[in-house]
Amino acid sequence: MMRKLSVTLAATLTASPALAAGGPFFSLANTDFVVLIAFLIFVGVLVYFKVPGLLGRKLDERAEAIRADLDEARRLREEAQALLAQYERQQKDVQAQAERIVKHARAEAEESAAQAREEIKASIARRLQAAEEQIASARERALRDVRNQAIAIATAAAGDVLARQMTDATGDKLIAEGIAEVEKRLH
């Protein structure tokens, strides 16, 4: 350190611009000399209070802090890249799962639609069967009603015909024959 100070002092004394002022150089009237003395005192005070060492330590501390910040930034960047890769994998997994869910839902919807079609077909078949049964029942009822009506009309017509053709003597004879027939069957 002393060597640096000696070299600086020698360079300062031999510099030609320092001799540019008028008059003797080593005089307090020469402003260049006064500035040189103040500068040397200033540098001496800095060296005495170990300012260059403090500055070096501060610069080293600052460099170490910057290095630590860079290491932290690098670590955070790597973490961020790892998280990004993880989120991209998760996104792909979620997308694949969503596609599976959609495919499954479509399959279930198609199955439900097919089942609903079958149920509708079965319901229509049941209704057609019930309608056919009602039609057959109504037809039988109508035929029975027509037959009963025909029997009633035929009976009434036969009664009218018999009533016109029958006399008292014929009626008595038929009653007697009927009683004889009943007695014969009962004994």
Range of the domain at 151: 88-187
Q: Mind listing the pLDDT tens digit for each residue in 130-178?
A: 999 999 999 999 989 888 888 888 888 877 877 777 777 777 887 888 8
Mean pLDDT (whole number) for 74-79: 97
55 belongs to a structural domain: no
42 belongs to a structural domain: no
- Output the 3-class SS for 108-160: HHHHHHHHHHHHHHHHHHHHHHHHHHHHHHHHHHHHHHHHHHHHHHHHHHHHH
40 belongs to a structural domain: no
129 or 7: whose pLDDT is higher? 129
Domain count, the chain: 1
Model pTM score: 0.38
166 belongs to a structural domain: yes
62 or 6: whose pLDDT is higher? 62
83 belongs to a structural domain: no
HSE of 56, CA atoms in CB hemisphere, 13 A: 6
Mean pLDDT (whole number) for 2-21: 56
Please measure the distance between the N-terminal and C-terminal CA atoms of the chain and give it in whole angstroms: 168
Angstrom distances, CA of residue 157 to CA of 2, 100, 144, 150, 170 = 162, 83, 19, 10, 19
